[in-house]
Amino acid sequence: MPDATEDGEPMRETIAQALAVVAVGGSGIVAGVFFAVAVSVLPTLYTMPAGSYITLHRKLGQGYHPSMPLIVNSTMFADIALIFLVEESATRWLFILASVLALGVQGVSHLGNVPINKRVLRVDPDAVPDDWDDPRPQWRRLHQLRTALALAALTVTAAGVVVLP
């Protein structure tokens, strides 16, 4: 660590390093959770009858919904803060891209998956209508998109962290 200077540079570097841990850790959690859902949870949900799927979808949402938005937001805000803390322009561009990718994850979630989740919550699992429009294929496509965005965000964030001073 450099010697203390009056311009606060060591403090800036320390804050940047702490935020880098938040950014790479958070993006790793988001990408990992989304990947696990894509390769394990979704295939399982596809095998279930509609009523059982609705019941399990609700239970899964109880854990994901409070925590995942907090982690995605924390990660995105850490990336945004790093844009202003890093000196090197190439590193700054990596954190700009990481922020945009994290925003993409949020956009897909809030504009795609969340409305579907709300629709599923309104269906009585014990009285699924015969003409029920099963949302699983659409939800899966949206989830695959946000998983790809999350994996890209993790990769770009990690690259930005690697090149930090």
pLDDT at position 15 is 94
Predicted structure pTM score: 0.91
pLDDT at position 83 is 96
Determine, yes or no, domain membership for 35. yes
Determine, yes or no, domain membership for 7. no
Burial of residue 41 (number of CB atoms within 10 Å: 0-12, 13-18, 19+): middle
Determine, yes or no, domain membership for 8. no
Q: What is the C-alpha separation between 126 and 165, in angstroms, rounded?
A: 58
Q: What is the C-alpha separation between 1 and 9, in angstroms, rounded?
A: 10
What Å distances lie between residue 1 and 11, 96, 113, 160, CA to CA? 10, 25, 44, 19
pLDDT at position 64 is 86
Determine, yes or no, domain membership for 6. no
Residues of the chain under the 70 pLDDT cut: 1-8
DSSP class of 102:
H
Question: Distance between alpha carbon 152 and the CA centroid of its chain, in Å?
Answer: 11
How confident is the model over 14-53, as pLDDT tens digits?
A: 999 999 999 999 999 999 999 999 999 999 999 999 999 9
Q: Residue 62: which H helix or E strand, with range?
A: helix 50-85
Question: Distance between alpha carbon 10 and the CA centroid of its chain, in Å?
Answer: 30
Determine, yes or no, domain membership for 3. no
Number of domains in the chain: 1
Non-local CB neighbours of 111 within 8 Å, separated by 6+ positions: none
Determine, yes or no, domain membership for 127. yes
pLDDT at position 138 is 98
Write out the residue range of the structural domain in which residue 58 sits. 15-163
Determine, yes or no, domain membership for 5. no
Given a contact cutoff of 8 angstroms between Cβ atoms, the answer to whether 25 and 33 are in contact is: no
What Å distances lie between residue 65 and 40, 59, 60, 129, CA to CA? 18, 10, 9, 26
